[in-house]
């Protein structure tokens, strides 16, 4: 365990003005409170808070953050209280400890709606003070470093949560070193065989080629020295997880993967950064498409650097990052650089972002209450945890987007109105499909058209939470409009059936009596089959509605007018339904065929009046067992058929058969057999289908035997 003197010396190394008495008091308080507690490894529990405090000191953070790290588990795991911590070490420390405690209790990897609420709490904690997240990340890093002492199932759970949430969060905050280590520690738990395989490949490669990193570092230093550029060069092999991820993305084996080495050139000035870049490109061939200038277009967390990939010694590809020392400090610490101390004073790093402004920009997009829980989680994970690319508008404005973004994402990032009306795009002057994945530095021009609306298929194309939310809102609004149109037709049919009209006044009255906000809300519920036409009539004119099956125990519906020994069958030519005027034709040995009074087949029996039987339907319980055939002409478009089938189901009718009778490039014609209760039910179904904008025609079809 790190001794108190060692921790204090670490802090005083960058902040000689640190309050050593306060740090020592916090160390003793935490040590005493955790006395007797042990970790899974058997070590004293206090070794963990001290290790987290040392991680914070490595980031050159202020005294309050160091003390919070020392005490971050006291309120949760000991008899320490919020008030006691506040009285001893100040309100700010107490609030930070309380924030870390609450984060520790969040189940961010749960699969239910609770996860969405916990993500909201995570964002709230971040918005109050970023140092809460910094301590929590340090807490998770040390736990991952010592995870081997936990049960296997717990190791899997913690590693998956860390890989999905905490590692990307560290990267988004600019702490790339922490992200790399967290991902590799998780990789060791989640896929040990793959990691061990890559490690063996590295050992084999070193045996074959020697210490390539040292050789390339010497080559770069030689080139810079000859050019008079003062710089420090660092080289490294990339982490096993980074190598494995590239193998998965590129679908290549280790032997074919080239850029497995990374180098950093740290210069004294920004001029030397670009001078070093020129010398590197003059000495080695640059790999096309692999140059990124994050100095002229910095990331939102303050990261600035030049990235390039060159073919180095023996043709091996190496990635080189070039930046100044101040830029490097931000690259290493990210948002934490705002609190960094040097020689007892807060470092005024010109590249460090204000964490509160950074958080405001990050969280303002999540404030909308229009998201469902699933949409909110999707939005947060896409916007918080995605790597970014930078593209330009025709005017030169920079648009930041997640990696994998498309022109539609670009359009919505400019303005929702432009995204909604997007019909095409040009990238670097060339027309491209809307599903094209954008790359860094590209110029994008969006083409719009009046009347264009977001398409459902766009949801599978876009990757930004902003675009997905806007598209879903537009689709919901369009569906709402469709329901209102359908509801208006159904209301009209239902009221005309009893000799009334669906006036605005009648609809407003019905909406008021049903406790709905307005007529449109009523019509939307009728269109969605949540309120039936009969219920609408009953609300307005209860005296015109017959008692329903729920009010009177009616016998099953049957046909009246038959002899006791006669059996009736509906004629397939006209498919009679309850509510229609019917007549029977007696056929010796076959019973009675029931026709509608308007069936053309009845002309065949004009000369045989003795076979005619006057029939009518009883007032009984009606069920959706009566067959009717519809002929539908619809647009040949994606999702149209599925939407029609859904409309039929929403009207509580059942599809018993479906056949496409004519298939053209722009339209289909088909027949659908459905089971309905009566003729009124059939009218409701036809009205619902006709209200769809992609349906050209829908009518009842009389079928021949």
Nearest to 468 by CA among 365, 544, 563: 365
**Which residues lie below 8 Å from residue 636, measured CB to CB, with a gap of 6+?**
663, 664, 665, 666, 667, 668
Partnered with residue 308 across adjacent β-strands are 320
H-type alpha helices, 298-399? 325-333, 355-363, 373-385
Nearest to 531 by CA among 684, 368, 356: 684
DSSP code of 12?
A: H
**Which residues lie below 8 Å from residue 2, measured CB to CB, with a gap of 6+?**
47, 50, 51, 53, 54
Q: Catalytic: which of 76, 293, 680, 694?
A: 76
Query: What whole-number distance in Å separates Cα of residue 612 and Cα of residue 695?
Result: 40
**Which residues lie below 8 Å from residue 347, measured CB to CB, with a gap of 6+?**
60, 329, 337, 340, 341
Q: What's the CA dihedral at 35, 36, 40, 43 to 10 degrees? A: 70
Nearest to 61 by CA among 351, 333, 330, 350: 333
DSSP-assigned letters across all residues of 123-191: HHHHHH-HHHHHHHHHHHHHHHHTGGGS-HHHHHHHHHHIIIIIHHHHHHTT-HHHHHHHHHHHHHHH-
Query: Active site includes 76?
Result: yes
Partnered with residue 700 across adjacent β-strands are 630
Instruction: Give the helix/strand (H/E) hosting 519.
Output: helix 519-527
Nearest to 575 by CA among 494, 471, 682, 486: 682
Q: Are 330 and 51 in contact (CB under 8 A)?
A: no
Q: What's the CA dihedral at 215, 216, 219, 225 to 10 degrees? A: -110
Query: What whole-number distance in Å separates Cα of residue 38 and Cα of residue 75?
Result: 16
Query: Active site includes 508?
Result: no
Token pair of 221 as six digits: 């230093």
Nearest to 261 by CA among 203, 202, 318: 318
Q: Catalytic: which of 5, 32, 64, 77?
A: 77
Q: Report the greatest alpha carbon distance in the chain.
A: 118
Token pair of 402 as six digits: 């997640």
Size of the chain, expressed as the number of residues it contains = 705
A 10 A CB-CB count for 28 gives 12
H-type alpha helices, 227-343? 240-250, 270-283, 325-333
Token pair of 85 as six digits: 């911590």
**Which residues lie below 8 Å from residue 564, measured CB to CB, with a gap of 6+?**
none
Cα 384 to the center of its chain, rounded Å: 11
Nearest to 203 by CA among 211, 215, 192: 211
Active site residue ranges: 76-77
């Amino acid at each position: 365990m790190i001794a108190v003197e060692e921790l204090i010396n670490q802090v005083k190394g960058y902040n000689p003005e640190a309050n050593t008495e306060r740090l020592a008091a916090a160390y003793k308080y935490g040590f005493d409170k955790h006395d007797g507690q042990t970790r899974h490894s058997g070590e004293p529990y206090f070794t963990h808070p001290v290790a987290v405090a040392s991680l914070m000191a490595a980031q050159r953070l202020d005294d309050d953050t160091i003390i919070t790290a020392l005490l971050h588990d006291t309120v949760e795991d000991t008899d320490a209280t919020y008030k006691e911590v506040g009285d001893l070490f100040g309100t700010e420390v107490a609030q930070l400890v309380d924030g870390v405690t609450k984060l520790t209790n969040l189940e961010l990897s749960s699969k239910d709606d609770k996860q969405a609420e916990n993500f909201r709490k995570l964002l709230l904690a971040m918005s109050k003070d970023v140092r809460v997240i910094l301590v929590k990340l340090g807490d998770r890093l040390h736990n991952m470093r010592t995870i081997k002492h936990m049960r296997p199932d717990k190791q899997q759970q913690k590693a998956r949560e860390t890989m999905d949430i905490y590692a990307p969060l560290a990267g988004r905050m600019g702490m790339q070193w922490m992200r790399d280590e967290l991902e590799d520690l998780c990789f060791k738990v989640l896929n040990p065989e793959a990691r061990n395989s890559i490690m063996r490949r590295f050992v084999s490669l070193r045996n074959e080629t020697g210490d390539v990193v040292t050789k390339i570092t010497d080559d770069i230093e030689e080139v810079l020295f000859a050019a008079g550029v003062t710089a420090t060069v660092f080289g490294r092999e990339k982490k096993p997880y980074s190598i494995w991820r590239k193998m998965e993305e590129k679908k290549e084996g280790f032997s074919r993967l080239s850029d497995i080495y990374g180098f950093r050139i740290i210069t004294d000035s920004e001029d030397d950064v670009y001078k070093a870049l020129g010398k590197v490109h003059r000495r080695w061939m640059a790999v096309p498409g692999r140059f990124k200038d994050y100095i002229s277009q910095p990331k939102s967390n303050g990261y600035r650097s030049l990235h390039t990939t060159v073919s180095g010694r023996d043709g091996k590809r190496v990635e080189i990052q070039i930046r100044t020392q101040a830029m490097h400090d931000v690259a290493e610490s990210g948002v934490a650089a705002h609190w960094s101390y040097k020689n007892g004073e807060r470092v005024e790093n010109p590249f460090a972002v204000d964490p509160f402004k950074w958080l405001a920009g990050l969280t303002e997009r999540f404030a909308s209450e229009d998201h469902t829980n699933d949409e909110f989680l999707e939005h947060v994970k896409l916007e918080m945890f995605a790597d970014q690319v930078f593209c330009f508008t025709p005017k030169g404005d920079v648009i930041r987007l997640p990696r994998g973004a498309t022109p539609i994402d670009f359009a919505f990032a400019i303005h929702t109105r432009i995204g909604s009306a997007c019909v095409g795009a040009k990238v670097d002057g060339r027309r491209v499909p809307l599903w094209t994945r954008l790359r860094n530095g590209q110029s994008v021009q969006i083409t719009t058209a009046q009347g264009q609306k977001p398409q459902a298929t766009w949801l599978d194309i876009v990757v930004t939470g902003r675009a997905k939310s806007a598209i879903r809102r537009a689709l919901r609004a369009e569906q709402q409009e469709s329901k209102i149109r359908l509801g208006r037709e159904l209301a009209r049919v239902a009221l005309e059936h009893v000799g009334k009209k669906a006036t605005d006044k009648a609809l407003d009255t019905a909406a008021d009596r049903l406790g709905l906000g307005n007529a449109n809300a009523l019509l939307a519920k009728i269109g969605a089959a949540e309120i039936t036409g009969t219920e609408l009539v009953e609300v307005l004119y209860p005296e015109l509605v017959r008692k329903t099956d729920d009010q009177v125990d009616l016998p099953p519906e049957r046909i009246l007018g038959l002899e006791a020994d006669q059996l009736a069958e509906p004629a397939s030519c006209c498919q009679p339904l309850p509510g229609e005027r019917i007549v029977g034709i007696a056929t010796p040995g076959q019973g009675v065929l029931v026709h509608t009074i308007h069936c053309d087949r009845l002309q065949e029996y004009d000369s045989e009046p003795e076979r005619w039987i006057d029939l009518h339907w009883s007032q009984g319980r009606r069920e959706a067992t009566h067959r009717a055939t519809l002929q539908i002409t619809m647009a040949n478009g994606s999702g149209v058929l599925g939407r029609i089938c859904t409309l039929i189901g929403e009207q509580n009718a059942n599809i018993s058969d479906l056949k496409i009778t004519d298939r053209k490039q722009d339209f289909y014609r088909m027949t659908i057999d459905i089971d309905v209760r009566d003729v009124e039910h059939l009218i409701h179904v036809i009205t619902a289908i006709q209200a769809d904008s992609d349906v050209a025609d829908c009518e009842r079809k009389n079928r021949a035997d």
